[in-house]
Structure 1
Amino acid sequence: MNLTAEIIAAGTGATLARATVFAPFMQAACATYHILDPRDVAAFLAQTGHESENLVYTKELWGPTPAQRLYEPPSQKAKGLGNTQLGDGRRFCGRGLIQVTGRRNYTLAGIGLDLDLVNHPELLEQPEHAAMSAGWFWWNNKLSALATAGQFTTLTERINGGTNGLADRQALYGAAKKALGIA
């Protein structure tokens, strides 16, 4: 499937200029991680569009908010993310188009993408790595099966841990399906 900037813009809510920057990397991520079925591509575009606020942010905005403070040890959230050292919460905040979060996930993504993300977490802010990390996450969490089965809410829960932003994600999903010519 040829992912044009126009399709990416429609499916992610991004400007055409921003979609043009990401187009070759989104295409590569889909090809590499076998995100090929149009329903799967539509879900991938919608979810990455929402998670990155329309391909604008490849790094989580840091307050820290009360929720972000829980990324720091000794909280249970930090433990679940593999954050073991003070400062890990901020250092390993969400990055990439699906917001890889936590020392453990950066370590695993680094292995999968052949990048030193533990020492250089900022690499996931670059469009190429932001897109590929989203594809890597999609593949490793077996999200294609949910997407092709039309289980969009479950897919959202797997990415987000809940249904935050579900209405926006669904609107982007509808736009992505329309851009891809599927009902």
Structure 2
Amino acid sequence: MNRKIFFDTVRTSLFNSRLSADQVKGIEAIISKFEKLDARWLAYALATAYHETGGKMVPVSENLNYSAKGLRVTFPKYFSVADAERYARKPQAIANRAYANRNGNGPESSGDGWRYKGRGLVQITGRDNYAKYGIADDPDKALKPDVATAILFDGMTSGKFTGKKLSDYFGVGTDWVGARAIINGTDKADKIAREAKLFYAAILAAKGA
């Protein structure tokens, strides 16, 4: 794959004509992991990282600094109107409430919600998910580029995140929208599908298709 053509293409189509050194390095790491596989797999992995990191393309820690309104939109099941007002702009308290008693976490008082908040290129959350990768005792390892890239690759190819994997959506057929189930149900599925198609177009251009 001609990397110059690829980067010239995505710089315009996805990055507002600007790419930082960190973004390039992050993208290169993902390409190196997925390049020998189906081009659609690579495109969807890149789009997933693009979405989950807000375009940074490097491992990030979840931003939980929600307003009361934001809490009601993002976590309506866990915050009443009164609770949202009480928890607003308190990231640690928000995490402990929103992620309590889920994915292997203890109750709100355990602090597991904050300890195992989203990190990495795919924002893994919960004690169980960190334990799958042997980093429950040091969850910040998910912020290391090599660890985050390995988690992205393994989770998306093996189905370790949700039971769904890339081969379920990109085999004989192609389902750009449904593939979101690999990470998070249907959340922002259409948006990520559009981004994946742009990455795919850049890959094909770089391969001379």
CA distance in 1, matches of 2:62, 2:10: 23
Q: Which residue of 1 aligns with 2:45?
A: 44
Q: Which residue of 2 aligns with 1:136?
A: 154
Which of 45, 60, 63 is the aligned partner of 1:61? 63
Q: Post-superposition shift, 1:159? A: 0.9
- Aligned to 1:82, the other structure's residue is in SS state coil
Classify 1:121/1:181 alpha carbon distance in 2 versus 1 (closer, same or farther; 3 Å): same
Per-residue CA shift, 1:84-120, capped at 9, x if unaligned? 251111111111111111100100022xxxxxx1121
Per-residue CA shift, 1:43-95, capped at 9, x if unaligned? 1111121111112652111236463423113xxxx1xx111251111111111
CA distance in 1, matches of 2:4, 2:50: 13
> TM-score, normalising length from structure 1?
0.75
* Aligned residues of 1:95 and 1:124 also touching (Cα < 8 A): yes
1:69-108 alignment runs, 5 A limit? 69-73=97-101, 78=102, 81-84=103-106, 86-108=110-132
Q: Post-superposition shift, 1:140? A: 2.2
Q: Which residue of 1 aligns with 2:34?
A: 30
Identity of paired residues, percent? 24
Of structures 1 and 2, the one with the larger relative CO (CA 8 A, separation 6+) is 1
**Greater C-alpha Rg:** 2
Q: Tell me how large the CA RMSD over aligned residues is.
A: 2.9
* Aligned residues of 2:58 and 2:120 also touching (Cα < 8 A): no
Q: Name the aligned partner's letter for residue 53 of structure 2.
A: S
Which of 148, 155, 174 is the aligned partner of 1:150? 174
Paired residues, what number?
166
* Aligned residues of 2:59 and 2:145 also touching (Cα < 8 A): no
* Moved beyond 4 Å, runs of 4+: none
* Aligned residues of 1:6 and 1:19 also touching (Cα < 8 A): no
CA distance in 2, matches of 1:121, 1:13: 30
Provide structure 2 residue ranges, at least 5 long, that are not aligned to the other structure: 76-94
* Aligned residues of 2:130 and 2:139 also touching (Cα < 8 A): yes
Do residues 124 (structure 1) and 142 (structure 2) align? yes
> TM-score, normalising length from structure 2?
0.67
